[in-house]
Amino acid sequence: MKWVSYTGGVLVLVVLVGLVVGYNSVRSYLRSNEFRLMLGEEVGYELNGDAELSMFEWDGWSVKTDNFSFKELNGFQNINARGIDAQVDIGAIWSGVYRIENMHLRELEFTGDFRDDPNREILMKERPVKEKSFWDPLLPDSLEVTGIDIASVQGSAKLDDGDWAWQNTSAKIRTGSTKDVYDVTLAGGEISTPISLADKMTLRTAKGRYSGNRFYLLASEFELLENGLMIAEGDFGIEDGTWQIRGEVTGSRIQDVIAEDWKRRFMGPLDFSFEVTGKPNTESKLTGHLRIKDGLLTALPLLDKISAYANTSRFRRLSLNEASLDFEKIGENIKLTNIVLSSEGLVRVEGVMEIEGNEILKGDLRIGITPGTLAHIPGAETKVFQRGDLGLLWTPLIVSGTLDAPQEDLSDRLVAAAKERMFELLPGIGEYALKFTGKPIGESTKMALKEKGVILGVAQIALGKASDLLNPSDGDNPEKVKGEEAGAIKKGAEAIKKGVGTIFDIFGRPILK
């Protein structure tokens, strides 16, 4: 039995010696430049580029290094990290894994260029075939990082639609429930974007997950505009380049997104929801819904004009109890549907529009007014507007032209209706007078149009013509009369357009930056 005990003791001793030798060998290898260079090579192969780590400083199984740098082989991205420290789980080595725990980075900087360039040559870094050394079977063949904490993340990315940049963001990265799954948490920091309405944002918090070469934004909150809050989620494909973001913005104001000279004239809370989708070699698509609650239009010359013309002060401060629309934007093409603009007790606008750059491709609207609003315009509420839903008088409105010089068809129809109604008020006499009277229209007619307004002025002229029929003058020239009258009617039409055409100005003229 002694030989059995002796043999067992020898085996135990051999195992212990082997463990000590193996431990010291692994410990020595981890502290060598060979391991540092190997680690950089492995990272380079995984990320398709060249990676380099500065000298390691060991304290037991804790390690520190000042710098890590990575340059992608095709120039897509560069990564620089500073102030790195971590723990090595020595026990995992016997399981064939280099496990790095509690990794901390003082600063991480990322720059990337993801713009589409058909002339860019795509290179791939191939792993060379090496002969295995004596120690290779005893050393781990994989690297595992259980978590990374980054005090400050900053960087920039160039995309086809513009440049993005961020700074002073903290990050936590943890391994997920399965292999190659990582959970990411971001907090704080400022973000610059190429989006005109959100060129500066402050990140509150964001949670995401990387899995299967796709990054998923699970939840996020951003501060933007003056007091706006945006919540968003989405995903981005690393390999196929497809992406989508959806969310909503609340708490902002319309004066935060309009031109400077409109900020004191158009006010009110602004909320909108959105979804943006994109893929390589195509224009991104933006869709959403916009709402303005309790908006107010004030201190506008056009409102003063329509107030004076309609003989009411209600248009001087136009309250919008309802204002909303759905939008879709692909490149320079913008489609606005389900447009609703309402000032309770005054006017309501509904319809659709389509804009391509500066050109209005489609503008099919309808306007509803409360009975009596345009009572000062003869024929407006009987020949142009028709009674319809919501107790309003409705008429269609076609908008065309350009954003700089939009055209609408309502003014001409109001002018025509006013002239027709005037002649109806003077059965037979008015029309006959305009055709056959022999008295030319002179300065007195112009003064009547100027002092009494278009409608009363035309009425006075028509009555004057009727009087001329009863007291004809032999020297009058009918052809001259026709020319003079045509000029007066044209001038009257222009005056009506200035007064009534402001309805489109109120609701239709673009005012966004």
Q: Give helix then strand counts, H and E, for the chain.
A: 9, 26
Question: Which segment of 104-118, 323-337, 443-457 scores lowest on mean pLDDT?
Answer: 443-457
E-assigned strand segments in 259-346: 266-267, 269-278, 285-292, 295-298, 317-320, 322-330, 333-343
Would the pLDDT of 233 be above 90?
Answer: yes
Neighbouring-strand partners of residue 395 = 367
Token couple for 430? 């008015």
Q: Which residue has the higher pLDDT, 213 or 352?
A: 352
Would the pLDDT of 182 be above 50?
Answer: yes
E-assigned strand segments in 114-242: 142-145, 147-159, 162-175, 181-187, 190-192, 200-211, 214-224, 228-237
Would the pLDDT of 453 be above 70?
Answer: no
Q: Predicted confidence band at 206 (pLDDT cuts at 50, 70, 90)?
A: very high
**How large is the average pLDDT for residues 484-496?**
46
Q: Which residue has the higher pLDDT, 371 or 465?
A: 371
Q: For strand 147-159 and strand 97-113, is the pairing parallel, antiparallel, or unpaired?
A: parallel
Place of tokens 């039995």: 1
Q: Which residue has the higher pLDDT, 114 or 189?
A: 189
Would the pLDDT of 225 be above 80?
Answer: yes
- What lies within 8 Å, CB to CB, of 371 at 6+ separation is 381, 387, 391, 392, 393
Would the pLDDT of 9 be above 60?
Answer: no
Rg (CA), the chain: 39
Q: Predicted confidence band at 408 (pLDDT cuts at 50, 70, 90)?
A: confident
- In angstroms, the Cα distances linking 459 to 102, 385, 429, 448, 478 are 90, 22, 12, 10, 20
**How large is the average pLDDT for residues 67-76?**
81
**How large is the average pLDDT for residues 85-110?**
82
pLDDT at 11: 46
Q: Predicted confidence band at 404 (pLDDT cuts at 50, 70, 90)?
A: confident
Taking a C-beta distance cutoff of 8 angstroms, is the pair 316, 301 a contact? no
- In angstroms, the Cα distances linking 62 to 41, 54, 84, 265, 295 are 21, 15, 11, 63, 61
C-alpha span between 392 and 372 (Å, rounded): 10
* Cβ neighbours, 10 Å, residue 213: 10
Token couple for 67? 């710098």
pLDDT at 505: 42
∠ CA 84-85-87 to the nearest 5 degrees? 145
Q: Cα 44 to chain center, whole Å?
A: 37
- What lies within 8 Å, CB to CB, of 60 at 6+ separation is none
Token couple for 187? 């907090």
Taking a C-beta distance cutoff of 8 angstroms, is the pair 398, 428 a contact? no
Q: Predicted confidence band at 219 (pLDDT cuts at 50, 70, 90)?
A: very high
Rounded percentage of the chain residues whose pLDDT exceeds 70 = 68
Q: What is the DSSP string of 262-280?
A: GTTTEE-EEEEEEEEEE-T
Q: Predicted confidence band at 133 (pLDDT cuts at 50, 70, 90)?
A: low
Q: Which residue has the higher pLDDT, 93 or 163?
A: 163
Give the highest mean pLDDT range of 158-162, 213-217, 375-379, 457-461: 213-217
C-alpha span between 328 and 287 (Å, rounded): 4
C-alpha span between 75 and 52 (Å, rounded): 16
**How large is the average pLDDT for residues 299-316?**
61
Give the highest mean pLDDT range of 112-116, 152-156, 342-346, 376-380: 152-156
Neighbouring-strand partners of residue 97 = 142
Q: What is the DSSP string of 41-73?
A: HHHHHHHTEEEEE---EEETTEEEEEEEEEEET
- What lies within 8 Å, CB to CB, of 295 at 6+ separation is 254, 266, 267, 268, 319, 320, 323
C-alpha span between 304 and 327 (Å, rounded): 31
Ramachandran sector of residue 194 (left: φ over 0; alpha: ψ -120 to 50; beta: rest):
alpha
Neighbouring-strand partners of residue 49 = 72
**How large is the average pLDDT for residues 348-369?**
89
C-alpha span between 26 and 28 (Å, rounded): 5
Place of tokens 């292999």: 179
Would the pLDDT of 26 be above 80?
Answer: no
Q: Predicted confidence band at 151 (pLDDT cuts at 50, 70, 90)?
A: very high
Q: Which residue has the higher pLDDT, 24 or 216?
A: 216
- 430: exposed, middle or buried (Cβ count in 10 Å: 0-12, 13-18, 19+): buried
Ramachandran sector of residue 435 (left: φ over 0; alpha: ψ -120 to 50; beta: rest):
alpha
Taking a C-beta distance cutoff of 8 angstroms, is the pair 278, 284 a contact? yes
Rounded percentage of the chain residues whose pLDDT exceeds 90 = 19
C-alpha span between 48 and 41 (Å, rounded): 10
Taking a C-beta distance cutoff of 8 angstroms, is the pair 351, 363 a contact? yes
Average pLDDT, the chain: 74
C-alpha span between 329 and 241 (Å, rounded): 20
pLDDT at 423: 67
C-alpha span between 392 and 347 (Å, rounded): 8
SS3 317: strand
